[in-house]
Structure 1
Amino acid sequence: MRLIEGQLIHRRYRLDSRLAQGGMGEVWKGFDIQLGRPVAIKALRTDTTNQESKLRRLRAEARNSANLAHPNIAALFEYYEHDGIGFLIMEYVPSKSLADLFHELNGPMDPTELLPILVQVARGLFVAHSHGVIHRDVKPANIMVSDNGEVKITDFGVSYSTNQEQITQDGMVVGTAQYISPEQAQGKHATPQSDIYSLGVVAYEGLCGHRPFTGATPVDIAAAHVNNPVPPLPASVDFQLSQFVMSMLSKDPLDRPNDALTVARILTRIQRRLLDQQTSAADATMITSNARMPRRVVSAPHHDPAGMLPRTADEDHAQSLFHSTLRPGTRLQAKEQQ
């Protein structure tokens, strides 16, 4: 069955426009006519081979995403099959990806802008890991960032769950070469630390403006993740932040942070410190840039020689308090004007 604009899926979801198409399936922007809201619809392509294995993969993605209710994970609403085609009905995220933002910058991102994104990704990953789900493809293209800074992790298409039967064969490499962990590149089982490594690559790219490893082919890049030391971050990067990102990129998973929640907490502390430093620096610049102190403007007391203006109750009370402090017999004399 070929999908076309305006087609109704499951008598409920209207296909509005195709957003993307890959080797396994295609993603559409759709509309839920029952609830009156936009949705994203991921469907298997029908013009490819190994349909049954791809359908099993889509079912696994649906199962892995079903219980991941978190603000930083794009929600799965429904899974539906018809005529051998599987459909994932998901939350529509009308945002740019972090890959888009990196491309627009064409250079390093300010750490105070990058860190809130990384923190939210880490929080979402921690929830997934807590449910036994490993994403296995953490990369900027799968991190959506809204205009107000809210982050959504998308595409659990190659995710793995400890509660599911194995779909990929032992030794099969799963992931994107530029962001793959050393153990994934060697065909070993992915763990939560594998996602932490991939997030470390994302952090490295954001801080440097480029990825740690390049190569002529994906195989060359994956091999570099296994064999080559990670090039140091620029000296301009905050020392503590640099050290922590490098720990996320340790070759040995046991040398990486214990879990994604630890990543979120430490990056949050670094972010707060950097913001405090920025604020202090801005305050110091404002003070030193003004050689003259601001002029004080003092209003002279109003002179009412005729006593024509009425006094308030507070003024009467203050006047009586003033006179009560004078010693008996004290006279007030006005100083004669010269």
Structure 2
Amino acid sequence: MFASKLHDFQEMRVLGHGGFGTVSVAQHISTSKLYAIKSLHKEHIAQTNQVVHTKTERRVLCHTEHPFIIKLHSAFQTRDKLYMVLDFCPGGDLRFHLNQMDGMMSVKMARFYCAEIVHALIYLHAKGIAHRDLKPENCLIDDCGHIKLVDFGLAKTGVQRPERGAYTHCGTFPYMAPEVLHQRGHGFAVDYWSLGVIAYEMICGWHPWYFNDSGDGDADVCPAGFAKSNALCFPRFVSRCAQDFISSLLIDNPLKRIGGHSCTEHPFFTKINWKLLYSKAYVPPIRNCNYKHFSPTYVSECITLYR
């Protein structure tokens, strides 16, 4: 990490808004390098009881160093705001790319990004960290087309087992594992469940428990724990190998759910050399990353860092 202050950066463009604050891109004046800067209003953090989550994210990022996990380069504050200087990922997130591809990727592309996510998860879990909010929106694409896991506000540290170590009901509903939904206690296996949902979406084109029974044309998703039927169905075009990989991730019992090095050894990843993957020797399927991968509304919204 390096020390920095507000005046070390030039004007920014907004990349996204949220309840947390704003994420913008800024240029570091002395190096000309681009960074994503996450700014958070102290008052809002306090009012919404987000102090613990904010501290958790910073603590996790300060103690992680992995090619497929966002890097925290600096952190500073003013009287009213907190700032985190992070990697700038001009490729947007996986959700954007799924939408651009009508909700579905090629199996080759899905395999590549699933492999990078698995590599990052193995690293995190070895350090006792469960992400607990893995979803396409939290899988960014960097300037070279590689995955960067982000948003560690809901992460849990000190988790040593797949099925226990945490008890908070948290995450994003369509990606929550059954043990989280039913508040049975959970461990790092929840991240592999979320990966299973993401993999299903990438390969099949929709959520595994996507349904429409309202009669008004509006569709919704229901995690397996709350679904009328937990049966996992696949389109005919999905290979048996891909079906088996996804089904192994979406097992209700976290102790039987595939994870860790069992994932790397699954036939779905036969074509992946994990050392080459870690060294970024593979050419990513998504390239030429730039502002086109962000909402035009945000990109056109120039703001000044000192506002």
The offset of 1:101, in angstroms, is 1.3
Q: Residue type of the partner of 1:180?
A: M
Asked if structure 1 preserves the Cα contact closer than 8 Å seen for 2:128 and 2:158, the reply is yes
1:38 aligns with 2:39: no
Query: What's the CA shift string for 1:40-82, capped at 9, x where partnerless?
Result: 1112135636348323321210101112211111111122233
What does 1:69-84 align with in structure 2 at a 5 Å threshold? 69-83=65-79
CA distance in 2, matches of 1:112, 1:199: 16
Instruction: Note the aligned Cα RMSD (angstroms).
Output: 2.7
Q: Which residue of 2 aligns with 1:54?
A: 50
What does 1:224-303 align with in structure 2 at a 5 Å threshold? 224-227=224-227, 228-259=229-260, 261-266=261-266, 267-269=268-270
Q: Flag structure 2 segments of 5+ consecutive residues without an equivalent.
A: 160-165, 215-219, 274-307
- Which of 125, 128, 138 aligns to 2:124? It is 128
CA distance in 1, matches of 2:240, 2:271: 10
Q: Which residue of 2 aligns with 1:141?
A: 137
- Quick one: structure 1 residues 15 and 147, their matched pair in 2 at CA, closer, same or farther if it must change by over 3 Å? closer
3-state SS of 1:160 partner: coil
The offset of 1:92, in angstroms, is 0.8
The offset of 1:130, in angstroms, is 1.4
- Quick one: structure 1 residues 34 and 191, their matched pair in 2 at CA, closer, same or farther if it must change by over 3 Å? farther
CA distance in 2, matches of 1:38, 1:213: 39
TM-score when normalising by structure 1: 0.68
Asked if structure 2 preserves the Cα contact closer than 8 Å seen for 1:120 and 1:264, the reply is no
Q: Residue type of the partner of 2:262?
A: T
CA distance in 2, matches of 1:135, 1:98: 17
Q: Which residue of 2 aligns with 1:117?
A: 113
Asked if structure 2 preserves the Cα contact closer than 8 Å seen for 1:183 and 1:190, the reply is yes
Q: How many residues align?
A: 256
Higher helix share: 1
- Quick one: structure 1 residues 14 and 34, their matched pair in 2 at CA, closer, same or farther if it must change by over 3 Å? same
Q: Residue type of the partner of 1:203?
A: A
The offset of 1:110, in angstroms, is 1.4
Asked if structure 2 preserves the Cα contact closer than 8 Å seen for 1:117 and 1:149, the reply is no
Q: Residue type of the partner of 2:240?
A: F
- Quick one: structure 1 residues 202 and 75, their matched pair in 2 at CA, closer, same or farther if it must change by over 3 Å? same
- Quick one: structure 1 residues 186 and 35, their matched pair in 2 at CA, closer, same or farther if it must change by over 3 Å? farther
The offset of 1:24, in angstroms, is 2.1
User: Structure 1 vs Structure 2: percent identity of aligned residues?
Assistant: 24
Query: What's the CA shift string for 1:137-191, capped at 9, x where partnerless?
Result: 111111123575422112212211118xxxxxx8642111111111122234442
Q: Flag structure 1 segments of 5+ consecutive residues without an equivalent.
A: 1-7, 164-169, 273-338
1:152 aligns with 2:153: no
3-state SS of 2:44 partner: coil
- Quick one: structure 1 residues 147 and 30, their matched pair in 2 at CA, closer, same or farther if it must change by over 3 Å? closer
The offset of 1:129, in angstroms, is 1.2
Q: Which stretch shows the higher mean deviation, 196-205 or 102-111?
A: 102-111
Q: Which has the higher contact order (CA 8 A, sep 6+)?
A: 2
What does 1:86-97 align with in structure 2 at a 5 Å threshold? 86-97=82-93
CA distance in 2, matches of 1:188, 1:30: 43
Q: Residue type of the partner of 1:250?
A: I
The offset of 1:230, in angstroms, is 4.0
3-state SS of 1:74 partner: coil
1:212 aligns with 2:208: yes
CA distance in 1, matches of 2:150, 2:131: 9
Asked if structure 1 preserves the Cα contact closer than 8 Å seen for 2:169 and 2:181, the reply is yes
Q: Which residue of 1 aligns with 2:292?
A: none
1:100 aligns with 2:96: yes
Query: What's the CA shift string for 1:202-238, capped at 9, x where partnerless?
Result: 0011111000124689xx9566435541431123211
3-state SS of 2:270 partner: helix
Q: Which stretch shows the higher mean deviation, 31-40 or 59-68?
A: 31-40
Asked if structure 2 preserves the Cα contact closer than 8 Å seen for 1:138 and 1:199, the reply is yes
